[in-house]
Structure 1
Amino acid sequence: MDDIVIIGAGEAGTRAAFATREAGFSGAVTLIGAEPHLPYERPPLSKPLEGAVQMKAICTTEALEAAGITYRPGRTATRIDAASRTIALSDGRALPYGKLLLATGARARRLACLGAERALDFRTYGDAATLFSRAETGGPVVIIGGGLIGMELAAVLRGRGIPVSIIEAAPRPLGRAVPPRFAERLHARHRGEGVRFHLGLGLTEITSDAVMLADGTRVPAETVVSAIGVLPDVALADRAGLATANGIVTDAFLRTSDPHIFAAGDCAAVSQPDGGTTRFESWRNARSQAETAARNMTGAHEAFCAPQWFWSDQYDLSLQVTGLPQSGHQSILRSIAEGELEFYLEDGRLVAAAGLGTGNGVARDIKLVEMLIAAGITPDRSALADPAVNLKGLLKSARAA
């Protein structure tokens, strides 16, 4: 039996299903999705079009049928029997597998204060539809969490004239993923657009019309959104006895502690050369891991090594980050017509970069930087800082060397 079953019909799971066919696999492929819709992309959920939440399908029914992929929407896997290699589904069926991919993603982290049940999560199409429907009343919205999702939502809501407050327990927003220089610029832009911030404060209660902060401040709220991050969905893996640690632990080839089971996407904690594990929470990494896992499930032996990359659109500004900028890195700034780039060096080697600019102004440069990082260059610092030095030229020189 060589059937492949994929649990989770998000970006990782759906992309993996198609990638098995691209790798030449001819056996049965089954994709199991908990939601009743066709697989859809999550990033557009925070960017409604003409007031309507976008459901951007990853694929069509016709594409699934043409690829010979059996899609089972509206179902969940309740148990994995690793010994017999079968999966129990919520509809009562048992499904056998030869190789299994867990692409179960992540779930919204829950608030723990009084009245937490009043807050809306923002993870699925249903969550987004509920939020934007409520926001149509024009009443004040309070967003708990000043990370990327919270700030993106604030930008969209302010663009529609809705009063927005952000409550963040840390001393500044965007503190975890965004380099400080660009986090402060985005923070300033939000303040200029009228977003009110309550920083360095916890909350004690969510009432029917307000959020109460630890210092006694009352923040009026008609709608409250919880955007305090996600937790990897490892419940199924735990019940199956797989190794987990802030995700489903995999080796570099995305195999779990069971050689017949792989994991990819937000749920996967991928082993690193230094002995730790890393979870990559981004659209591109979900896609890249899915493709790697699919090839390995069909006979390849390929380590996952795609660079970290993410983007965020807020107002007319676009942030892009590639690699993993660290406080200990040497940083070099470059001003460009559309914005600013910051390069990060470790022992002289280029390892990461970030850019913030209007529209798609930094996208081309960040793509070139990704290729420079892959080339392993040790660049001249003055060349990186000089806008007159073409990054494409640096790449050609690196490749020639």
Structure 2
Amino acid sequence: MSVVSGLVVVGSGAAGVSAAETFRARHPGIPVRILTTDPALPYAKPPLSKDFLCDRDTRLDLHSAQWFDRNRIELIRGVTVRGVDVDRQEVVTAGGRRYPYWHLVVASGSAAVRPPISGIESALTLRSFADAVALKMAARYSDCAVVIGGGLIGCEAASCLAERGVATMIVAAEHVPLQRRFGVEAGERVAKILSDNGVRFAGETTVAAIEGDRVVLGSGETVDADLVVSATGVRPDIRLAETAGLTIRDGRIVVDEHMRTSARNVYAAGDVALAHNVTAGRPIPAEHWRDAAHQGRVAGMTAAGFPAVWDIVPSFSSVIGNAVLRYRGWGAGYERARFVDHHTGFTVWYESGDGDVVGVLTHNADDDYRRAEGILRKR
């Protein structure tokens, strides 16, 4: 049976669903398909480590199955796309099925990176809903856990495990958590937040091996752990883009402010995209849910033939225990970090070499967070 061309989206995360939803709203009669390896209905990922793992009330589904049926968006789950024929404008699945497209949005997201550690295959990750369910079930039968990695996901997951009564330690190469991204002073405050929530932090430490129910540190010391979580970062999944010959830089697909790639009628959005941000005046990696959703909307608008550009200032929040950290800015690059202590929180202003503000991190300092929007846009 022949398949009618239309919009094809690869990936069912925020970027992919936003692109499909936006395109459908403007073209009710053109076929729209989402192809995804995930067997679950499209869901929000940030609540997995912030709420779901902690047993807090949360709504994960982006839309119900009935919503996709009602809007005539064909959601094809549990399928792997192995290639794109940009000349014939077809997407090819691992089973050999071909889906022709008029417009294609690549929103394949990221995959968890596992460090080269002996026994790492026994460690759990926290990237998908299936990962979160497995980790939540394992935590029920665990007394002690080690989280490898002191980034945002590692800190959030560790605080949730501790909240569930699991004695939890974070092991990280940095002196303090989040040091590479946010600096030493912010990291010291996060270490205090973790400690207050019952999480031990072992900095400047590596994991040499995972052996059964214990973790061997680089120093030779062993730590009991009947649960190990690998939270050592993610890597954009650009395999499809590589097979299609799309332009790639710094491990991401190069797109303009309209999310157009180097191939005709092919767009990219979300983690895989290195997009030109109009407000920043330069390419910015998309790192978080809000960025991905907005980029997906831009891709959907552009594919539908309507004007749209990526111009928002990226922002995100992180929940560690009861503490909420908020960031707004252009990413990791900064020359100076100006730490401002408050009675109940703090603000860190990140500045370039010429003194321009390029980002802000706040804890219980919402006025600074709101003010940063105008400062970043002006600069």
- Normalized against structure 1, the TM-score is what? 0.85
Q: State the Cα RMSD in Å.
A: 2.6
* Structure 2 counterpart SS, 1:259: coil
CA distance in 1 between counterparts of 2:69 and 2:138 reads 37
CA distance in 1 between counterparts of 2:202 and 2:103 reads 48
- 1:335 is the counterpart of 2:342: yes
Tell me, which stretches of 5 or more residues in structure 2 are unaligned?
A: none
Aligned counterpart in structure 1 of residue 6 of structure 2, from 3, 8, 11? 3
1:114–1:121 Cα change, 3 Å = same
8 Å CA contact 1:53, 1:129 repeated in 2 = no
- 1:356 is the counterpart of 2:363: yes
The answer for the alignment partner of 1:156 in structure 2 is 160
- 1:370 is the counterpart of 2:373: yes
Aligned counterpart in structure 1 of residue 23 of structure 2, from 17, 20, 25? 20
The answer for the alignment partner of 1:283 in structure 2 is 289
The answer for the alignment partner of 1:268 in structure 2 is 273
CA distance in 1 between counterparts of 2:178 and 2:357 reads 23
Q: Which amino acid aligns with 1:184?
A: E
Residues 284-329 of structure 1, C-alpha deviations (whole Å, 9 max, x = no match): 1011111111111122353322212111011111000101375424
Aligned pairs for 1:1-400 within 5 A: 3-24=6-27, 26-46=29-49, 47-48=51-52, 51=55, 56-245=60-249, 246-271=251-276, 277-324=283-330, 326-329=333-336, 331=338, 333=340, 335=342, 339-344=345-350, 347=354, 349-357=356-364, 362-363=365-366, 366-374=369-377, 376=378
CA distance in 2 between counterparts of 1:280 and 1:130 reads 27
**Residue 272 of structure 1: CA displacement?**
6.6
**Residue 161 of structure 1: CA displacement?**
1.9
Deviates more, 1:18-27 or 1:66-75: 18-27
CA distance in 2 between counterparts of 1:238 and 1:272 reads 23
CA distance in 2 between counterparts of 1:200 and 1:97 reads 50
Q: Which amino acid aligns with 1:108?
A: A
* Structure 2 counterpart SS, 1:112: coil
Deviates more, 1:200-209 or 1:139-148: 200-209
CA distance in 2 between counterparts of 1:120 and 1:171 reads 24
- Normalized against structure 2, the TM-score is what? 0.89
1:35–1:55 Cα change, 3 Å = farther
Aligned length: 371
CA distance in 2 between counterparts of 1:291 and 1:363 reads 27
Residues 221-246 of structure 1, C-alpha deviations (whole Å, 9 max, x = no match): 10111000000001111111222231
1:317–1:290 Cα change, 3 Å = same
Residues 83-123 of structure 1, C-alpha deviations (whole Å, 9 max, x = no match): 10011124442110011000000000012111111111111
Q: Which amino acid aligns with 1:27?
A: I
CA distance in 1 between counterparts of 2:229 and 2:15 reads 26
Q: Which amino acid aligns with 2:182?
A: V
CA distance in 1 between counterparts of 2:102 and 2:39 reads 26
**Residue 48 of structure 1: CA displacement?**
2.5
**Residue 192 of structure 1: CA displacement?**
3.4
Deviates more, 1:174-183 or 1:247-256: 174-183
8 Å CA contact 2:7, 2:32 repeated in 1 = yes
Tell me, which stretches of 5 or more residues in structure 1 are unaligned?
A: 378-401
Q: Which has the higher Rg, Structure 1 or Structure 2?
A: 1
CA distance in 2 between counterparts of 1:196 and 1:345 reads 31
Q: Which amino acid aligns with 2:362?
A: G
* Structure 2 counterpart SS, 1:312: strand
Q: Which amino acid aligns with 1:136?
A: R
**Residue 34 of structure 1: CA displacement?**
1.3
8 Å CA contact 1:53, 1:132 repeated in 2 = no
**Residue 175 of structure 1: CA displacement?**
1.8
Q: Which amino acid aligns with 1:168?
A: A
Q: Which amino acid aligns with 2:254?
A: V
Deviates more, 1:15-24 or 1:129-138: 15-24
1:101–1:363 Cα change, 3 Å = farther
8 Å CA contact 2:5, 2:101 repeated in 1 = yes
1:343–1:237 Cα change, 3 Å = same
